[in-house]
Amino acid sequence: MLTIRMSTTDDIPDDDLSATASEVRMATFRLARRLRAQRAVDTMSDGQFAVLAALKMHGLHTLSELADRERVTAPSMNRTVNCLEESGYLTRATDAADRRKVNITLTEAGLAVVEETVRRRDAWLEGALADLSGPERETLARAAAIMRAVADR
């Protein structure tokens, strides 16, 4: 049974706050690792998938925009984009308005990888949540909102 005590940081002694932070970090990493294992292409790295997901979510990007978004260097992003382009998951095209600019977009194959990976991850998590009680699922839903707020800081 999952139990979460709602309190403010003022109510938690520093030692308990540190332990709570460590527990949340470890649980988050473990869950993320389990979700990352649910992918449509086993040979695709997390970084490569992140690029495809960014293109699906935010549309076309230049190489430097992708590098900034993923917080990597332009040469590193260029290697990632080259690999994904060779695999047929994205394309590069010269911008019609500014011929100096090259836009990177998803192909149908790239879109299919993102959609199938998201479907698998959602299905795995839905199955895991199905084993929990209603109150536990409600607690996790509230925790998700709190975690999103913490991540947005």
Q: Mean pLDDT, consecutive 10-residue segments, the chain of 153 residues? A: 51 77 94 94 94 96 95 96 97 91 96 97 96 96 94 90
Residue 129 sits in a domain of what CATH number? Answer: 1.10.10.10
Q: What is the pTM of this model?
A: 0.79
List strand residue ranges (DSSP E) for the chain, in order. Answer: 90-94, 102-106
Q: In this predicted structure, what is the pLDDT of residue 84? A: 98
Task: Kindly state whether residue 4 falls inside one of the protein's structural domains.
Answer: no
Task: Kindly state whether residue 139 falls inside one of the protein's structural domains.
Answer: yes
Task: Kindly state whether residue 5 falls inside one of the protein's structural domains.
Answer: no
Distance CA 104, CA 48 (A): 13
Q: In this predicted structure, what is the pLDDT of residue 15? A: 73
Q: What domain range is 106 assigned to?
A: 13-151
Domain total for the chain?
A: 1
Residues β-bridged to residue 105: 91
Task: Kindly state whether residue 54 falls inside one of the protein's structural domains.
Answer: yes
Residue 2 has which token pair? Answer: 């999952």
Task: Kindly state whether residue 55 falls inside one of the protein's structural domains.
Answer: yes
Are the C-beta atoms of 143 and 57 separated by less than 8 Å?
Answer: no
Distance CA 2, CA 20 (A): 14
Distance CA 136, CA 116 (A): 28
Residues β-bridged to residue 90: 106
Task: Kindly state whether residue 8 falls inside one of the protein's structural domains.
Answer: no
Distance CA 58, CA 52 (A): 10
Task: Kindly state whether residue 2 falls inside one of the protein's structural domains.
Answer: no
Q: In this predicted structure, what is the pLDDT of residue 1? A: 47
Are the C-beta atoms of 52 and 106 separated by less than 8 Å?
Answer: yes
